[in-house]
Amino acid sequence: MLNFVFKKERQVELLLYEYLDTFKLSQESFSKAINSCILSDTSCESFDFYIKQTHKYENKTTDISDEINNIMYGKTLIPDSRGDIMELLTEIDTIPRLFKDILYMIQAQRLAVPAFIAAEIKDLVNISMECCELLIKQSIALFTNTAGIRALLGSIDTNESHCDNIERRITAIIFDSDIDPFKKLQLKELIEKIGNISDSAESVSKLINIISLKRRV
């Protein structure tokens, strides 16, 4: 239960878990779009479906966040606590938005990933998805007031550093290649956007840790 904030506010608690479930669905849809279509078969017929699903889940996380906001500010909940939770949801919202924006970028620019960087990009995506999974666990630890928040922050930080290294390596490979210069710039932008997923997860993770520390004061 969310004893540190809500006590008897069961409705908000359920919405927070629904929010995290929806965030997980957006992550899974994005991962399938990249791994099943972009990195293995650029003619994948399911790509448009995955884009629509990712967009749908991104919209739903925003809707749930708005609903939580309306409930929290319409009831006599602790002002500091509700501010922390709404700041947290606002920060998490940036990640499903990134999923959507990356897929729309690939679709609009008709981007095809060259085979010589496909394995590296797959690693970048998979480690970024692991960051998101760890972030969900960390959020639950915060909501349930359980241990492990600091350790999860450490794991996310390690993964983010790994992603930075992969991102730099892919960028170097791209610019050492003989592909069209304009395509190099397109791919560089794509890699940077994917890299932003782990950056955002780390930023949210640090916020969760700060909120947790504030609860102990």
CA distance 155 to 151: 6
Predicted confidence (pLDDT) per residue in 21-55, tens digit:
999 999 999 999 998 888 765 567 889 999 999 99
Residue 3 has pLDDT above 70, yes or no: no
Residue 111 sits at the vertex; the CA angle it makes with 105 and 116, to the nearest 5 degrees, is 130
**Domain locations along the chain:** 10-216
For 5-24, the three-class secondary structure string (H helix, E strand, C coil) is CCCCCHHHHHHHHHHHHHHH
Q: pTM of the entire structure?
A: 0.91
Q: What is the DSSP string of 154-179?
A: HHHHHHHHHHHHHHHHHHHHHHHS-S
What CATH class has 10-216?
mainly alpha
